[in-house]
Chain A
Amino acid sequence: MPLTQHHVVPSETPMQNNTASVSKQSVTQAAQAVLAESAERGGGVQMFGIDKIYAGSTTKALDNFNLEIKPGEMVVLLGGSGCGKSTALRSLAGLEDIQHGRILVGGQDMTSVPANKRGMAMVFQAYSLFPHMSALENVEFGLEIRGIGRAERKRVAMEKLELVGLSDQAGKYTQQMSGGQQQRVALARALAINPRVLLLDEPLSALDAKVRVQLRDEIRRIQLEAGTTTVFVTHDQEEALAVADRIGVMHHGRIEQIADPTTLYRRPTTEYVATFIGLSNKIPGSSNGTEAEVFGHRVPLLDGSASGAAVNVLVRPENIILRAQASDTPGARAHVMMIHFLGSLVRVDTIVDHSGIPVTVQMPASELPTGLRNGSVVTLEPLPIPALAA
């Protein structure tokens, strides 16, 4: 079954619901508001043709990796474990030597600049606070390096601690703080130096679910306020969709597709992206490159689709109509295997007769045909919404 992801955000007619579009809008406004300032600091990032092979390894951790980030933008690198997300981030930070390629920040060539001169700040998954320093001293660290006086240092550090909601924990040491608090301090410490690029490597992965969501939204709020160009690495698509201006889906050491969340969901360019973001049914059909025939219906195809007599068309569960038995229109006869109620939505797992292809259909709960239960016979029809053939 290609349906690997089970808690997928975009299912409810993705990105169109109100909250998403509101935050989208404020993103754009905020991004524009800070554009000038960021441009001044030279916040844009360009990474060209980066190759990285680790010593003792034969495969490329990064394989002709390209990434462009606009000043003040938050780009999320998303992908499964081992696809090279951290390597990309660490290369940008200067923590890894790269074999090939160029890195520019604000038009300035950074390729051979050592990590401590790049003016970036990294937040790791965990264990990054200096254990011998209090929260306040941790946040002051980068300022101290920059030769900022004691009083000013303290003022800025307290301001950043306040920003992350920890001004009352300034005197605490690592082992006296919860994981979430530690990550907040790490974030404050990174923000204190007003970095050209803020780098976050799975900053929330070690936290429990509730704190993760809370801090994730806070990171986004703070990032928008400060207008800091940010690269956020995660393997969690929900997290990615929640915070990103754009998401770069990584696979085998390169970005397969980079786009805003809506585009990524609606117009995936590769099978990997289509199945990684949200759910996709893999339905055999025939394609001429622009149109496919699926269950006797014509489905328009997205750019980059394969053509041929035997292709897989990747159809979203909400783009398939499920009719109860009595139906004369063409479609596939299928049996209901399982019905999942997801609150306002219902997801129905079916198996197509004869071919045995599993197809999942999703619809608003109100549209579920009455009397439908496991074993019911149904007809499946794809909607004429652009899909990808692979």
Chain B
Amino acid sequence: MAVNTTSASHTPRAATRQAGAPPQLRAIRVHQQRIIKTVILTVTSLFLGIPPLSMLIFTLRHPLSGRWSLDPWKAIFTADGSALGADLSTLWSGLGISLGLCMATVVIMLLLLVPVMVIAHIRSKRLERIIEWVATLPLTIPAIVLVVGLGPIYRWLSTDVLSSNPIWLCFAYAILVMPYAFRALTVGLNSIDVLTLCETARSLGASWARVFFRVLLPNLWQSMLSASFISISVVLGEYTVASLLGRMNLQVALYQLGQSNSQISTAMSLLALLFGVLLLVSIDLISGAMRRSKENNQPCL
């Protein structure tokens, strides 16, 4: 996607720059550029494509016997791994936990970030910068270091306050997804004049609650959706924190399953990856569709 947009915006500029050159020369340059673009595109696709492709082949071809079969996929979709001598129950519980974690994390993230960011956006530019800095911190701190700090907290949480249920990982995950969610929400906030809209609504008689639900949320839902989708894909792929804190989730289950049946585990990883990609693509599709629906309504002046 990114490659497409850059090349599209590149072509007209390149064309105008070379408008003065003789036609043959221009043709050669255009040709050269096409080659460069193709090379870049190919290398990138190979770089991104080979690992999943290898994974796919690995799931289809038994590493020892070299026999091709769909058995690992059948095992996943029939939920029965006995044919391959694997116990899939851990996988299902890991998947269930991860899905639960996705939901809990998204809810916490939205409840935490949306009001705070809106208020900071309205109230003070300085506060907004501080929040940005804080929200970006998790990116700069390695997960292992994070766990060192989270360990004692979770020991205390699990013994005294809550339980050792892995769902409580949602608090740690809310921190992990913050940098990504923050970016997505910032885009939404910057696309409208939040302050003017709030003040207009206030002066027309709206309570703060109404301002929030009737004016701000309808204009922010798209970026909230992006923030949620990104959060979900982060949570689905999270291994380090869960594993080091000794909690079960999808990735931990996949790892464990990989010890006994690496083919099924790899197939499941592929599915998780595919799901993540679908989420990210759908963000793009949704915003594209919104843009198009607006453009279609252009006034015919």
Note all chain B residues with C-beta closer than 8 A to A121: 203-204
A95 close to chain B: CB less than 8 A: yes
Give residues 248-301 of B contacting A (CB, 8 Å). 294, 297-299, 301
Check A131 for interface membership: any CB of B closer than 8 A.
yes
Bound Cα distance from A176 to B293, whole angstroms: 12
Which of B17-25, B137-145, B189-197 lines the interface with chain A? B189-197
Q: Which residues of A contact B203 (CB under 8 A)?
A: 93-95, 115-116, 118, 120-122, 199
Contacts of B294 in A (CB 8 A): 173, 175-176
**Would you call B210 an interface residue if the criterion is a C-beta within 8 Å of the partner chain's C-beta atoms?**
yes
B190-217 vs A, CB cutoff 8 Å, 1 = contact: the mask equals: 0011001101111111110010001100
Contacts A122-B200, A130-B215, A177-B299 given; indicate if A145 touches B193 (C-beta within 8 A). no
By the criterion CB–CB under 8 Å, are A172 and B299 in contact?
A: yes
* B240 close to A (CB within 8 Å): no
* Minimum Cβ distance to chain B for residue A370 (Å): 52
Q: Does A190 contact B (CB under 8 A)?
A: yes
B12 interface residue (CB < 8 Å to A): no
Is A82 among interface residues, defined by CB-CB distance under 8 A?
Answer: no
CB 8 Å contact bits of A176-218 with B (1 = contact, 0 = none): 1110000000100110010000010000000000000000000
Q: Are A141 and B201 in contact (CB under 8 A)?
A: yes
How many chain B residues sit at the interface, stated as a range, is 20 to 34
Q: Are the C-beta atoms of A95 and B202 separated by less than 8 Å?
A: yes
- Chain B CB within 8 A of A128 CB: yes
Name the distance in Å between B207's Cβ and chain A's nearest Cβ.
6
**Interfacial chain A residues near B297, Cβ < 8 Å:** 172-173, 176
Closest to B298 in A: A176
Task: Report how far A127 CA is from B301 CA in the complex, Å.
Answer: 21
Chain B residue, CB-CB nearest to A171 = B297
Contacts of A199 in B (CB 8 A): 203
- Chain A residues with Cβ under 8 A from B301's Cβ? 178
Known contacts A172-B299, A173-B297, A175-B294; A124/B199 CB under 8 A: yes
Contacts of A176 in B (CB 8 A): 294, 297-299
Contact of A127 among B196, B202, B204, B205 (CB under 8 A): B196
B218 at interface, CB cutoff 8 A:
yes
B204 touches A189 (CB 8 A): yes
**B219 at the A/B interface (Cβ < 8 Å)?**
yes
- B204 and A141: CB pair below 8 A? yes
**Bound Cα distance A114, B204 (Å):** 12
Chain B residues with Cβ below 8 Å from A340 are none
Q: What separation, in Å, do the CA atoms of A127 and B202 have in the docked complex?
A: 15
Give the contacting residue for A193; candidates B193, B202, B205; CB below 8 A.
B205
Q: In the complex, A249 Cα to B301 Cα: how many Å?
A: 40
Q: Are the C-beta atoms of B219 and A142 separated by less than 8 Å?
A: no
Q: Once bound together, how far apart are the Cα atoms of A296 and B95, in whole Å?
A: 99
Instruction: Chain A residues near B197: list those with CB within 8 A.
Output: 127-128, 130
Query: Residue B205 contacts which of A119, A124, A131 (CB distance < 8 angstroms)?
Result: A119
Instruction: Check A146 for interface membership: any CB of B closer than 8 A.
Output: yes
- The reply to whether the CB of A150 lies closer than 8 angstroms to some CB of chain B is no
Do A145 and B215 have beta carbons less than 8 Å apart? no
Q: Is A132 on the interface with B (CB-CB < 8 A)?
A: yes
Alpha-carbon separation in the docked complex, A127 to B194 (Å): 9
Min CB distance B43 to A, Å, is 39
List of A residues within 8 angstroms of B218 by Cβ:
130, 132
Report whether A193 and B204 are in contact in the complex, using a CB–CB cutoff of 8 Å.
yes
Give the shortest distance, in Å, between A142 (CB) and chain B (any CB): 4
Name the interface residues of A94-150: CB closer than 8 Å to any CB of B.
94-95, 114-122, 124, 126-128, 130-132, 141-142, 145-146
Within 8 A of A (CB), among B91-114: none
Complex Cα distance, B199 from A124, in Å, reads 9
Contact residues in A for B196 (Cβ distance below 8 Å): 124, 126-128
Q: How far is the CA of A142 from the CA of B196 in the complex (A)?
A: 16
State the CA gap A186–B205 with chains docked (Å).
Answer: 15
A142 touches B215 (CB 8 A): no
How far is the CB of B101 from the nearest CB of chain A, in Å?
Answer: 32
Q: List 17 A-B contacts (CB under 8 A).
A: A95-B199, A115-B199, A119-B205, A120-B203, A121-B204, A124-B199, A127-B192, A127-B193, A127-B196, A130-B197, A130-B200, A130-B215, A130-B219, A141-B214, A145-B205, A176-B294, A177-B299
Closest 6 pairs (CB-CB, A-B): A122-B203, A142-B204, A127-B193, A132-B218, A115-B202, A145-B205
Give me 16 other A-B pairs in contact (C-beta within 8 A), A115-B203, A124-B200, A193-B205 excluded.
A93-B203, A115-B199, A116-B205, A118-B203, A121-B203, A127-B193, A127-B197, A130-B200, A130-B218, A132-B218, A145-B210, A175-B294, A176-B294, A176-B297, A178-B301, A190-B204
